[in-house]
Amino acid sequence: MAFPRRRFQYYHRLRSLYPVISSISGAILFLFALLSLLAPTPMDSDQFHRSDSLSVVAKEAIRNGDSMFRVPSGGGRLNRDIWSSRNSRLFYGCNNASSKFAKAEAVTHANRFLAIATSGGLNQQRTGIVDAVIAARILNATLVVPKLDPKSFWKDSSDFREIFDIDWFISFLSKDIKIIKQLPRRGGKAWIPHTMRVPRKCSERCYQNRVLPVLQKRHAIQLTKFDYRLANKLDTDLQKLRCRVNYHALRFTDPILQMGKMLVNRMRMRSKHYIALHLSTDAAICYRFEPDMLAFSGCDYGGGEKERNELGAIRRRWKTLHKTNPDRQRRQGRCPLTPEEVGLMLRALGYGMMNKMMMMLMITMMLMIMTLMIQNGLIQMMMSIDLALKRKACIMKQF
């Protein structure tokens, strides 16, 4: 009996060290994160101003006057400004409605109301809001200001008016579609709309055949789980309306715009050029790959047969997600960047392999993963020890 008791006391003391190990790991992570923030920018580092940082291939390209862009192996810069384009002056906005696009008051029916239930993260919900405007225009209906989804991915209780400028949204689109903040009351009571769901990438004809008959009968409907429920190929005027909603009508509230301007100004103080990346702490690479995002893109990401099987299983849940030609998708620029492509892009922009900031970020990511592994390992070890001690105690009681 004494031996199990001593073993229990030993493991109990070992278990008490777990908070100490966690605290030390957290302090180390905080230290490296602080160092990564204080590291100089790539443009300020001497590494990017020394000629010996250019690779042999890059030097030869400059010597021969070759205009072909080469990625410097050491993070140096070539004699070509990749931040500008000779053809940029040829591009101009063209999302204004044509003369054939009728005004909202001429086509909107007074007894048709469309509401949607957004789904996914904020980016998916924004896409759903844009598509809802087009769907209401196709159905000649009045759109009810969409309610954001606080449950599925975003985990935020903010509503539409706290993220987007609701008055600007309504007024900017007043010539294209009628928008109200909430459904009118019916018979002195709240009007509960009929709910239904449309398939993904539903075309204009799809809405007219599936949704319009129900709307004419019920007068108010709510389309549930409204994410990617509109086809990409639409009439030109509808595509232009889509652009007007996305780039002009959906404007953030003033507090969010002020915060964004402050962040941009801080980045401009450090360098003339900057790029935004979606960093994640749950992966050792720059991007967080989510299975649904990878499946919906219809692209391959270099993961071999296992990746194709897993993404294929997700795509088979929806008829519209069957993979067609992933190589062509990537050549046409329709695929998210792979980790390798992100690395090449950063290298081309002047970020070298040994740059301090990148090294600190990588070290920080590795330490975070190691900490998680240590914590998970300690937890599993403690659970197994407790289970073994309980079994030992039961056996001793039997004797």
- Residue 307 — pLDDT band, cuts 50, 70, 90? confident
Whether 392 contacts 35, CB under 8 Å:
no
Whether pLDDT at 67 is above 80: no
**Residues 6 or more apart in contact with residue 385 via CB below 8 angstroms:** 11, 15
Whether pLDDT at 370 is above 80: no
Whether 273 contacts 83, CB under 8 Å:
yes
Say whether 86 sits in a helix, a strand or coil.
coil
Residue 375 phi/psi, 5-degree rounding, is -60, -45
- Residue 100 — pLDDT band, cuts 50, 70, 90? very high
Mean pLDDT, all residues of the chain: 75
**Residues 6 or more apart in contact with residue 184 via CB below 8 angstroms:** 191
Question: Could you give the percent of the chain with pLDDT greater than 70?
Answer: 61
Reported as type and span, the H/E element at residue 340 is helix 339-348
Give the C-alpha separation, 318 to 296, whole Å: 10
Whether pLDDT at 392 is above 50: no
- Residue 47 — pLDDT band, cuts 50, 70, 90? very low
Which of the residue ranges 19-33, 203-217, 273-287, 339-353 would you say has the lowest mean pLDDT?
273-287
- Residue 11 — pLDDT band, cuts 50, 70, 90? low
pTM of the predicted model over 0.75? no
The number of CA neighbours under 13 Å toward the Cβ of 254 is: 2
What is the predicted pLDDT for the residue at 379?
A: 46
Give residue 111's Cα distance to chain centre. Answer: 37
Question: What DSSP letter does each residue of 157-182 carry, written as one string?
Answer: ---HHHHB-HHHHHHHTTTT--EESS
Pairing of the two strands 142-144 and 220-223: unpaired
Higher pLDDT, 129 or 394: 129
**Helices vs strands, H then E, count in the chain:** 16, 5
Whether 201 contacts 231, CB under 8 Å:
yes
The arithmetic mean of pLDDT across residues 128-132, rounded, is 96
Summarised one tens digit per residue, pLDDT across range 31-41 is 766 665 555 54
Please name every residue paired with 252 in a beta bridge, in sequence order, or none if there are none: 164
Give the C-alpha separation, 224 to 291, whole Å: 22
Question: What DSSP letter does each residue of 286-327 carry, written as one string?
Answer: SS---HHHHHHHT---S-HHHHHHHHHHHHTTSGGG----HH
Domain map of the chain by residue range? 2-40+365-398, 104-253
Tokens 């580092």 appear where?
45
Return the amino acid letter for 79: N
Summarised one tens digit per residue, pLDDT across range 203-252 is 999 999 999 999 999 999 999 999 889 999 999 999 999 999 999 999 99
The arithmetic mean of pLDDT across residues 175-195, rounded, is 93
Report how far apart, in Å, the C-alpha atoms of 179 and of each of 103, 139, 197 are.
13, 13, 21
Higher pLDDT, 47 or 32: 32
Whether 169 contacts 163, CB under 8 Å:
no
Angle between helices 236-244 and 122-139 (to 10 degrees): 140
Give the C-alpha separation, 230 to 269, whole Å: 41
CA angle 47, 343, 363 (to 5 degrees): 70
- Residue 364 — pLDDT band, cuts 50, 70, 90? low
What is the predicted pLDDT for the residue at 299?
A: 82
In the chain, DSSP assigns E strands to 113-116, 142-144, 179-180, 194-196, 220-223
What is the predicted pLDDT for the residue at 304?
A: 83
What is the predicted pLDDT for the residue at 374?
A: 45
What is the predicted pLDDT for the residue at 324?
A: 67
Higher pLDDT, 287 or 167: 167
Instruction: Name the residue among 127, 137, 166, 142 with its Cα closest to residue 247.
Output: 127
Summarised one tens digit per residue, pLDDT across range 148-162 is 888 776 677 888 999
Whether 65 contacts 84, CB under 8 Å:
no
Higher pLDDT, 169 or 22: 169
CA angle 97, 111, 102 (to 5 degrees): 15
Whether pLDDT at 305 is above 80: yes
Tokens 């609701």 appear where?
166
Which of the residue ranges 7-11, 65-69, 141-145 would you say has the lowest mean pLDDT?
65-69
- Residue 263 — pLDDT band, cuts 50, 70, 90? confident
What is the predicted pLDDT for the residue at 4?
A: 54
